[in-house]
Amino acid sequence: MKDLSYNLDYLELLSNDYPSIRSVSTEIINLRAILKLPKGTEHFVSDLHGEYEAFLHVLRNASGVIKNKIDMLYATSLTEQERKLLATLVYYPEQKLYHLRQQGILTDEWFTLTLYRLVELCRKVASKYTRSKVRKAMPRDFSYILDELLHTSDAEINKHEYYTQIIRSIIDVGRAEDFAIALGNLIRRLSIDHLHVLGDVFDRGPRADIIMDELLRYHSIDFQWGNHDIEWIGAAAGHTACIANVIRNSLRYNNFDVIEIGYGINTRPLANFALEVYADDPCEQFMPLDSHKKAIRSNDARLTAKMHKAIAIIQFKLEGQIIDAHPEYDMQSRKLLGCINPDEGTVRIDGCEYPLTDKMFPTVDFAEPYKLTDGEKMVISSLRRSFVHSEKLQQHMSFMISKGGMYKIYNGNLLFHGCIPLTGSGELDTVNFFGYDMKGKSYLDAADKAVRKLFISKSETPESDFLWYLWCGKKSPLFGKDSFATFESYFTSEPSLLKENKNHYYSHIEDTRVCDMIFTQFGLDPALAHIINGHVPVKTGKGESPIKANGKLYVIDGGFSKPYQETTGIAGYTLISNSYGFSITSHQPFTSVNDVIENDFDLHSAKIMTEHNFERKLVADTDNGIRLRHKIQILSELLDAYKKGLIRERVK
């Protein structure tokens, strides 16, 4: 053991928690034992896009982990339908019990069998954790009973009657439903040790706020910000161009409930302005879209279309001002309001003239096309106040900031949403970041710090324009494309103009050499690491695979968002990493919670074991294992200090 004299002050402080040889020895024994437990299960999800029902079901069924455990335990003793019912009871215990009660199924005999099965299943998912960790996850009301049942087998002759009596007493005193609910919640809690959300919780789908409410309660989670998330973070920070984009996206996909009901944003000034200024404008190109990207036509939709066009024009003006203020963004080609010829009804894009599909611009002064009118200034100022003062929005974005980042290194894997900007030859691309040339890890680290600083400041300055750049900039690692063809989609009918070229990263994701270069850049072992990202939907229907570069890279955006599902052919990929290896799951479209409750429907999912460990991974092989070994080392020094008399024991 090394000389301890230099570290005595720290060890003296540590001795307050471990005041004796006995206490420190017990903790060392405990930590060494934990290192030999199997690593916890990690769950990776991406690109949720507000589809709260489908996502929350995937969260509840742990991408099939729970059903797999049930099938393993009861493959020969229960029918498929009985196993499905048990799974539904774990996913939605309150709702399923209510449904069964209405059918008259909840007899004492049914509860006796079901509680036995739930306890056995809970014991199975709890087996990879310490008793202490399981106890901490238990609901307080039933912690003692659960602790006894999970660590007492009814097969033990001496305790069979004891075990049986506990179950019988729970039923006799009328707590069977409450106990079944507690077991279901605990099974779900223990099935997944940690959740990774690889970006784009927001936009397109109906209620991202409901997703965030659920994630706020999740026991262990991190976010890798997506460009749609950063757009909302920017809006919550009061950046007006981000606010305009958030409102426009919500109007375009007819999911305004997240704005008005979810976050209490007052949109009446925008509605009044749009009704007045665009009263005679049919705004045909701005009709909201349904989940199949078809225009919705109704009286409400017509008002939505007017609001949609009003905020889109405000957005284009604000973005033009940003682009002029930041020549380093190299986005002059996106300033298209100034390229309109109102007399000819055309717009010049990349040197070619195209006819406009909409020629009504009542708020645009073509001598100063990016200047807001007084009415537009009033609208965006009112919206900014609502966003900055929405308590729930600020809570959600603060949570996403505190638990999130531009990327994360976790258990030797590299997680991010979009891309690492690359050149055509597959090298790290250089980005001008506030006057400094950066690339790779240094660029993402600097961007991460900037986002946190800008969110806290809540001030709209030239520096805060970086939030908008991360949303849609040419070399944004979250956006990963050279342009956003928003203007073209509204005002032209030329399909070729809608093409958005992806960053060179996406043309190199099958190249193991490039993956290894990225691993080295982030200090990871190329022989063991994986890249896991989302953002670009995998077109399974066209034969694309989410597994790239011989298994070094996973792309797990398979289409949670309904508008993408016709292209992807599925409804999302999720990834599971457990002690045995990696498995990727593809999900079919979700029907409804009612279908699950009433018919025991579960998402039809196809699971592929993509990488199997020859030796089961233990806690010792994880980031937590590194932390535990460091703690063991420090505790061993404290133990040595006690034994050498350098620190006195405080034995009562």
Q: Cβ(99)–Cβ(89) under 8 Å?
A: no
Query: Which stretch of 28-32, 370-374, 642-646, 647-651 has the lowest confidence by average pLDDT?
Result: 647-651
d(CA 533, CA 555): 5
Query: Which of 130, 121, 114, 117 minimizes the C-alpha distance to 65?
Result: 121
Quote the pLDDT of residue 326. Answer: 96
Element (H, E) at 487: helix 486-491
Extended beta strands in 390-536, E state: 404-405, 407-410, 413-416, 431-433, 436-438, 531-533
Q: Say how many C-beta atoms besides its own lie within 10 A of residue 323's C-beta.
A: 20
Quote the pLDDT of residue 573. Answer: 82
What average pLDDT score do residues 600-614 get?
67
Q: Residue 529 is encoded by which pair of tokens?
A: 């690491």
Q: Residue 67 is encoded by which pair of tokens?
A: 């059903």
Share of the chain above pLDDT 70, in %: 93
Q: Cβ(261)–Cβ(250) under 8 Å?
A: no
Q: What is the pLDDT of residues 217-272, one digit of tens each?
A: 999 999 999 999 999 999 999 999 999 999 999 999 988 899 999 999 999 999 99
User: Residue 565's pLDDT band (boundaries 50, 70, 90)?
Assistant: low
Per DSSP bridges, beta strands 352-355 and 413-416 are unpaired
Of 651 and 431, the structure prediction assigns the larger pLDDT to 431
- Rounded to 5 degrees, what are φ and ψ at 349? -130, 125
d(CA 336, CA 334): 6
Quote the pLDDT of residue 94. Answer: 95
Query: Which of 88, 486, 448, 59 minimizes the C-alpha distance to 252?
Result: 486
Query: Which of 341, 332, 333 minimizes the C-alpha distance to 366?
Result: 341
Residue 2 has pLDDT above 60, yes or no: no
Residue 38 has pLDDT above 60, yes or no: yes
Share of the chain above pLDDT 90, in %: 74
What average pLDDT score do residues 418-444 get?
95
Quote the pLDDT of residue 18. Answer: 95
| pTM of the full structure | 0.93
- Helix/strand/coil for 4: coil
- Rounded to 5 degrees, what are φ and ψ at 239? -80, 120
Q: Say how many C-beta atoms besides its own lie within 10 A of residue 263's C-beta.
A: 22
Q: What is the DSSP letter of 260?
A: I
Q: Where do we find the tokens 């294992």?
A: 625
d(CA 48, CA 29): 42
Extended beta strands in 179-321, E state: 194-197, 221-224
Quote the pLDDT of residue 562. Answer: 64
What average pLDDT score do residues 55-70 get?
90
Q: What is the pLDDT of residues 625-650, one digit of tens each?
A: 999 999 999 999 999 999 999 999 98
Q: What is the pLDDT of residues 468-504, one digit of tens each?
A: 999 999 999 999 998 889 999 999 999 999 888 999 9
Quote the pLDDT of residue 299. Answer: 73
- Residue 557 CA to chain centroid, in angstroms? 11
d(CA 411, CA 407): 13
Residue 155 has pLDDT above 80, yes or no: no
Residue 94: CA atoms inside 13 Å, Cβ hemisphere, count? Answer: 1
Quote the pLDDT of residue 608. Answer: 66
Q: What is the DSSP letter of 378?
A: H
Query: Which of 282, 326, 280, 288 minimizes the C-alpha distance to 304?
Result: 288
- Rounded to 5 degrees, what are φ and ψ at 328? -65, -20
Quote the pLDDT of residue 542. Answer: 66
Residue 6 has pLDDT above 60, yes or no: no
Quote the pLDDT of residue 539. Answer: 67
Quote the pLDDT of residue 202. Answer: 95
Burial of 461-499, coded b for 16+ CB within 10 Å and e otherwise, reads eeebbbbbbbbbbbbbbbbbbbbbbbbbebbbeeeebee
Angle at 313 between CA 310 and CA 318, to 5 degrees: 125
Quote the pLDDT of residue 9. Answer: 87
Q: Residue 88 is encoded by which pair of tokens?
A: 């539904």
Region of 511 please: left (phi>0), alpha (psi -120 to 50) or beta. Answer: beta
Quote the pLDDT of residue 514. Answer: 96
d(CA 400, CA 396): 6
Q: What is the pLDDT of residues 546-562, one digit of tens each?
A: 889 999 999 987 666 66
Residue 614 has pLDDT above 80, yes or no: no
Angle at 56 between CA 265 and CA 234, to 5 degrees: 35
Of 61 and 453, the structure prediction assigns the larger pLDDT to 453
Residue 392 has pLDDT above 80, yes or no: yes
Q: Residue 604 is encoded by which pair of tokens?
A: 């039809």
Mean pLDDT computed over every residue of the chain: 90
Query: Which of 100, 91, 188, 173 minimizes the C-alpha distance to 137?
Result: 188
Quote the pLDDT of residue 429. Answer: 96
Query: Which of 621, 578, 635 minimizes the C-alpha distance to 31?
Result: 635
Quote the pLDDT of residue 241. Answer: 98
What average pLDDT score do residues 304-327 get?
96
Quote the pLDDT of residue 124. Answer: 92
Angle at 282 between CA 276 and CA 288, to 5 degrees: 100
Element (H, E) at 65: helix 65-74
